[in-house]
Amino acid sequence: MAEKKRALGRGLSALLEDAGTDITSKSEATQGATLGSVSMLPISQIEVNPFQPRTKFEKEGLIELANSIQEHGIIQPITLRKLGYDKYQIISGERRFRASQAAGLKEVPAYIRVANDQAMLEMALVENIQRRELDAIAIAISYKRLLDECDLTQDALSQKVSKSRSSVTNHLRLLKLPAEVQLAVRDGQISMGHARALIGMEEKKQLSMFRKIVAEALSVRQVEDLVRGVETKKASKPKLNKGELSFEQQKLKEDLSDMFGNQVIIKKDSAGKGKLEIPFNSDEDLNRLAGFFNL
């Protein structure tokens, strides 16, 4: 069988030809393996990332990718770190690596980087979060690992993943839901919108409403209306006291608190007049809040 052309992408072949030999092995196959450049490396010298947050690789998708690689080669190089002489570990691109193995390739194009274990975990998690097909729970777990294991703040995390602070917070709040609901989000049984609507409820009511969503195939809007009805019914006997917030206003308060990262306070009188307060903890915190208003 004629050898397939390697589809390295525009300009990558030239990079391979120009790669220097600052850090190389003695084998011919790795003479171009230079940090920061693209090099062809034997698959036998590459090992998977033990910190890989993505543990499920859909079999059918891998077969399709392997067939594509057999036909067109690897378009996007994988990213590796150098462990030692003729030994590399995957930072990102494990799916492409597995498909290349299935396609029977002997070598793959790769970027070579240097990274310690924490930086490697961080890079793998950030790359994983950016996958379009990743479910909301997997994203939330990756966010939590970045916060806990990489010692990031929510502000730093939102910048790293190019998401708003409120988006990060909304994903993290999903991890407070019962396991049964989280699994349903992960498996596509309900959407993130359905799950978000349940967050403010007691756990028993969350589970009851979740089962109703599944049994009756309710839309997100229907769920929000039902949850609002439960809250309204709860508060229907005593009417709203002076300054008491309605369900919609309470939800607005929570959404604003998520967006600003500080506990927002809404005060109002019976006529509907009032004020919105955003407390801050330091000069830095004040400057961060000012950034929301382009001040």
Active site residue ranges: 94
Q: Which long-range contacts (CB under 8 A, 24 or more apart) does 194-199 make?
A: 194/218, 194/220, 194/223, 195/136, 196/170, 197/223, 197/224, 197/227, 198/223, 198/227, 199/173, 199/174
Contact between 224 and 194 under an 8 Å Cβ cutoff? The reply is no
Contact between 77 and 47 under an 8 Å Cβ cutoff? The reply is no
Contacts (Cβ under 8 Å, ≥6 apart) of 290: none
Quickly tell me which residue has 């407070």 as its tokens: 176
Sign of CA dihedral 214, 218, 219, 220: negative
